[in-house]
Amino acid sequence: MKKILALAGSNSKNSINHKLVNYVASRIESHEVKVIRLIDYQFPMYGIDLQNERGIPTDIQVLKNIIAEHDALIISVSEHNGSISAYFKNIIDWLSRAELKFLEGKKVLLMSTSTGKRGGASSLAYFKDTLPRFGAEVVESFSLPSFNENFNIEENKIVDEITLLGLNDVVSNFEQALQE
């Protein structure tokens, strides 16, 4: 059994990406999954002067250690105005300053969702290209478009059958990759 860390790269307390992470985490039964909320930690805006004056923030060290304790990650990234979230980019910047290869040996299921038809595709593509620079192996990715139409919050489920089949395949492939 592998240990999986699940999180959303969002600073919204009502994050739809966090809802997606919770949903996917609840579907994994053959591994231990820990879901965290990044908003429970404090991350100042990265700057070289701040790093030189104060060093790496304590909560970045804590997050880096939590990541190190896990074999794999499920990450759902948010998108702001067709681009990546400055919040999550900031966290990645800090983590990479604490340890460049902070994702070394970690298999990643990378996801995104948005209320739009593209489902956070720009942010997903950016992090799919970027996370391997820090050692991650992105083994699967999934984008859920039009969150409000395709996800029922009250019932905590994806309502579109074709989308659900696609997600089931992605999750199955991710779990299989953890066995390799």
Bin 18: left if φ > 0, else alpha if -120 < ψ < 50, else beta. Answer: alpha
Quote the mean pLDDT of the chain. Answer: 96
Does residue 180 register a pLDDT over 90? Answer: no
Map out the domains of the chain as residue ranges: 3-179
Correct CATH for 3-179 of 3.40.50.360, 1.10.1510.10, 3.30.70.920, 3.40.190.10: 3.40.50.360
Q: What is the pLDDT of residues 65-102, one digit of tens each?
A: 999 999 999 999 999 988 999 999 999 999 999 999 99
For 52, phi and psi rounded to 5 degrees? -65, -35
For the CA atoms of 107, 129, 39, 86, the dihedral, rounded to the nearest 10 degrees, stands at: 170
Distance, in Å, from the CA atom of 85 to the CA atom of 75, rounded to the nearest integer, reads 13
Contact between 139 and 174 under an 8 Å Cβ cutoff? The reply is yes
Residue 71 has a pLDDT of: 98
Residue 72 has a pLDDT of: 98
Distance, in Å, from the CA atom of 73 to the CA atom of 34, rounded to the nearest integer, reads 9
> What mean pLDDT is predicted for residues 19-27?
97
Residue 150 has a pLDDT of: 96
> What mean pLDDT is predicted for residues 54-64?
98
The residues facing 37 across adjacent strands are none
